[in-house]
């Protein structure tokens, strides 16, 4: 399997940037001052994206305690067949097989992400560009150079340490809002709720079926 960095080096940079900006459109107003024209702002955005990609391609790989692996599986998205992009770790995959968990990675250093593998399953290869766009977005969640990463980690730790709130049900939450705001929320009838739960259940079963299927393919490729 190739690493994220190896794949980035092999891809058409302009095409990848276009795919990124199509999926995650940038608010031009956030990048401009009053004197700049839209064309100039777009040129600046493309320049920054090229700098971001060049940086990732040249980053020294920082070895993680466990080898990360990205893969794609199917899901129901906007009521039709879609894809979701997942990160798993090798040691857990060896132990738990298809029951291994997936993990968020926007708090992981770019130097580690660049060294993670990309599964060479048929589905992952088919949606490789989409996967790489997703990785680029998540890896820059706290800035193209992750300049805000440490402060966000510190803030998260602080909130966890200070959090003594109690969990409440959705119904109680909306009831409190209605009482505080004087607003009446729309509520489904019981038959609508039952049908909705069926839809959610089936979508979840589809998610889990495809996930296990693709994890099996990853395990087979790794020979573990």
CA dihedral 217, 93, 103, 70 (to 10 degrees): -40
In this structure, is residue 200 part of a structural domain? no
SS3 assignment, position 37: coil
In this structure, is residue 127 part of a structural domain? yes
What is the distance between the alpha carbons of residues 45 and 51, in angstroms, rounded to a whole number?
Answer: 10
In this structure, is residue 186 part of a structural domain? no
- Check residue 65 and give its pLDDT: 84
Print the domain residue range for 20: 2-148+208-222
pLDDT tens per residue across all 224 residues of the chain: 999 999 999 999 999 999 999 999 877 666 656 566 767 778 888 999 999 999 999 999 998 889 999 999 999 988 788 999 999 999 999 999 999 999 999 999 999 999 999 999 999 999 999 999 999 999 998 888 888 878 877 777 777 777 766 677 777 777 777 777 777 877 888 999 899 999 999 999 999 999 999 999 999 999 99
Q: Could you tell me the pTM of the whole model?
A: 0.84
Phi, psi of 35 (to 5 degrees): -90, -15
In this structure, is residue 171 part of a structural domain? no
What is the distance between the alpha carbons of residues 215 and 170, in angstroms, rounded to a whole number?
Answer: 33
In this structure, is residue 199 part of a structural domain? no
What is the number of domains present in the chain? 1
Q: Is residue 190 packed enough to be buried (19+ CB in 10 Å), middle (13-18) or exposed (0-12)? A: exposed
Q: Among positive and negative, which fits the CA dihedral 196, 199, 203, 209?
A: positive
In this structure, is residue 202 part of a structural domain? no
- Check residue 192 and give its pLDDT: 92
Place of tokens 């003594």: 164
Is-contact 88 72, C-beta < 8 A?
Answer: no
In this structure, is residue 81 part of a structural domain? yes
Nearest CA among 13, 9, 11, 41 for reference residue 28: 41
In this structure, is residue 179 part of a structural domain? no
């Amino acid at each position: 399997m190739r690493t994220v960095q190896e794949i980035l080096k092999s891809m058409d940079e302009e095409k990848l940037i276009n795919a990124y900006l199509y999926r995650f459109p940038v608010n031009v107003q956030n990048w401009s001052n009053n004197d700049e024209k839209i064309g100039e702002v777009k040129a600046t955005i493309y320049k920054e994206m090229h700098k971001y990609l060049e940086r990732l391609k040249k980053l020294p790989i920082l070895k993680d305690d466990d080898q990360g692996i990205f893969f794609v599986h199917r899901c129901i998205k906007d009521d039709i067949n879609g894809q979701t992009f997942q990160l798993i770790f090798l040691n857990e995959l060896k132990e738990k097989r298809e029951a291994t968990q997936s993990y968020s990675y926007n708090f992981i250093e770019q130097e580690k992400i660049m060294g993670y593998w990309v599964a060479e399953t048929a589905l992952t290869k088919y949606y490789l560009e989409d996967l790489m766009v997703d990785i680029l977005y998540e890896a820059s969640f706290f800035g193209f150079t992750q300049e805000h990463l440490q402060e966000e980690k510190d803030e998260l730790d602080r909130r966890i340490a200070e959090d003594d709130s109690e969990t409440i049900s959705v119904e109680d939450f909306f009831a409190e809002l209605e009482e505080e705001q004087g607003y009446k929320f729309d509520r489904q009838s019981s038959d609508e709720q039952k049908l909705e739960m069926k839809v959610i259940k089936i979508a979840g079963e589809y998610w889990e079926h495809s996930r296990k299927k693709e994890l099996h393919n990853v395990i087979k490729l790794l020979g573990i």
